[in-house]
Structure 1
């Protein structure tokens, strides 16, 4: 009989205490003007002790950030391992474009990192991890899903050019997957929500956890404040909230953020109110690899590493994470080939930029070429990247 999964969780405020520049939109030059929706880091500590007394532990964090900068992760992850003894650390971001920058490696247009905020963020993460570890207890796992139409493909071909415009015929992942971790007394310990869509509803110069954060706050309230949530952002590189008029996208405001958040949370409430699939315990285990992605033209930077991590939480439930803005085609590939047993997640343990498909590299557009200068890359990736990534994904699926 496999040992039970243990889980401790905590939610801690990471809203900046002073005005800092927000990340994600070039037109916002100065510090934010207000806080509309606070930012949180939702911290989950998984543990398992086998029959021989060996302990396996995983720190999983979902934070209302645009990403965790690679330079920050390189410093932070070893500290967390040394202090708490985790075997695996996964730092995931919801990808809100209404929070601070966490990397110093990108152009100023993406937002300038504030060192004081980075120190604050690290302190809050350590504090939240300590809180989560004090709540560790056995849990069982349930899973359910339903469709929710918030996102739309944002790559539209017109006269041989790729425009950033709604493409209803383009690939999209509308599935909401809910993972409910239950205490042995039947109460809910944590609720994970996986969905795939850029949180770019608004570009106001105001702090906001965007629709994922608003949804998670609402879900936690719906469980009486007893459960801690986590939003798991999918491969949403080419997926955007469907706000459009006459075939053109527009940005919304607080009202649209909360409308999408309510739509997502209402979907979650419907899922958990129905019978969900109980998942059998499995061995808590993880693996990771670094896959070099070459560029089309020779450069001093010969390649860049795509970090792929895999975490198994229960029978029929694993996560695959990437330190990049993966387009939805990769997420759909993972879901289809794993028959829904693996949830794909971007924006984890760093950020290297967009990872497009071979076809997108041939077509052009923002994800394939337009975004390259913003992430300080020497040029577009080589088209061979897609076959390399798919082979590496298959290696995890066969284990």
Structure 2
């Protein structure tokens, strides 16, 4: 019997109900001053019944957060699995730098967590999962794509050092992958949008879902009905919005956020209007594995495990997640090695820190060295991390 994918979705407002510090910029102080855009958790519960009638399940949450802190994930994931029976839980963040901190294990300058907000976030998450589970119905899966030029590489060599400035020759991923889930009636149930760029358009001290949220709002409105979106953030560690003047980046405001959101949503809506590839059903299955990442200083403690999870939703569609800020080279490697059948997602199920390539570690710069104290790492990673990660991902591809 051909496997049938089931999907239930819900969209929950997770905007802080009281002022809290925002996460992501060390120079920003105090609690937020206003709400420019609400924050949402877009919750998608996947299921599938096997021949014996047993249902398997996977939870995918895309939330307007900077990340899900590792300490928070260690509390939430087993709780959600026990309560709802999920085999796989993917807590993914769009990586907006205009939302609350969710970790207590990082540098205070990245934003202080607020315990009351985290309790509120958990309540909203559980309520949303309960809504999504009763919303489950059979869906088919379609895949399409477009391009978008919001992002630019932010690592530039100048004066013998790596500075944060636009580098048009650097690695970048302009691809927008669009996944549409259709009901039996033909109506759109949900739309996943995969793109690769830091949501750091603005550093205003205001709550904002940034350009991913602005894009999804417009996409959901254009589709009408009850379609719910999800933004899937790629390996954007060294990619940021192309706001530059005289070779230097500058920060925008609400107008620039809306402009980039419009630009991304235009690409998605174009893809949805074109013929899309219908993906054949496949067994809903997942596999997680860990890659130990050593530090450059051999006397330092182990760098910790890079947790990687692959979830197959259809033939030719696997989500491959990382609990770190992965740079663009890793995402491009995954896409090229899998011929586009695997979508790489960073910022999922925790936050280890930036994971650079061997070349970056030799060059230095923020991703390789400057970010280390913010994530409370004892030293930069050893150059061998790139080979370890590529080897592990390739082995996964060969055995999936």
Give the TM-score, by structure 1 length: 0.99
Other-structure match for 2:246: 246
Superposition map of 1:1-399 within 5 A: 1-299=1-299, 301-398=301-398, 399=400
Q: Name the SS of the counterpart of 2:74 in structure 1.
A: helix
Shift of 1:225: 4.2
- The CA distance in 1 between the partners of 2:54 and 2:125, in whole Å, is 26
Mapped contact 2:237–2:354 kept (Cα < 8 A)? yes
Once residues 266 and 42 of structure 2 are traced to their aligned partners in structure 1, the CA distance between those partners, rounded to angstroms, is 20
SS at match of 2:383: coil
Between the aligned partners of 1:205 and 1:215, the Cα distance in structure 2 is 21
Q: Distance in 1 between matches of 2:12 and 2:120?
A: 12
User: 1-side partners of 2:29 and 2:116: how far apart?
Assistant: 18
The alignment partner of 2:38 has SS state of coil
Q: 3-state SS of the aligned residue for 1:360?
A: helix
SS of alignment partner, residue 58 of structure 1: strand
Question: Compared with structure 1, are the counterparts of its residues 225 and 26 closer, same or farther at alpha carbon in structure 2 (3 Å cutoff)?
Answer: farther
Kindly report the root-mean-square deviation, in angstroms, between the aligned alpha carbons of the 2 structures: 0.7
Q: Deviations over 1:81-118 (max 9, x none)?
A: 11100000000000000000000001111000000000
Counterpart contact for 2:300–2:379, Cα < 8 Å:
no
Distance in 2 between residues matched to 1:223 and 1:26, nearest whole Å: 38
Could you tell me how far 1:3 is from its partner in structure 2? 1.3
Cα offsets for 1:343-364 (capped at 9, x unmatched): 0000000001000000000000
Q: How many residues align?
A: 399
DSSP 3-state at the match of 1:20: coil
Please report how far the alpha carbon of residue 158 of structure 1 lies from its aligned counterpart in structure 2 after TM superposition. Answer: 1.3
> Whole-Å Cα distance in 1 between the matches of residues 367 and 199 of structure 2?
16
Aligned partner of residue 7 in structure 2, secondary structure? strand
SS at match of 1:166: strand
Asked if structure 2 preserves the Cα contact closer than 8 Å seen for 1:42 and 1:229, the reply is: yes
Instruction: Describe the superposition over 1:9-34 as per-residue Cα deviations: whole angstroms up to 9, x where unpaired.
Output: 00000000000000000111100000
How far did 1:54 drift? Answer: 2.3
Work out the CA distance in 2 between the residues paired with 1:252 and 1:240. Answer: 12
Q: C-alpha displacement at 1:291, in angstroms?
A: 1.1
Deviations 1:178-205 (A, max 9, x none): 0000001100000000000000000000
CA contact (8 A) 1:299 1:378 kept: no
Unaligned runs of 5+ in 2: none
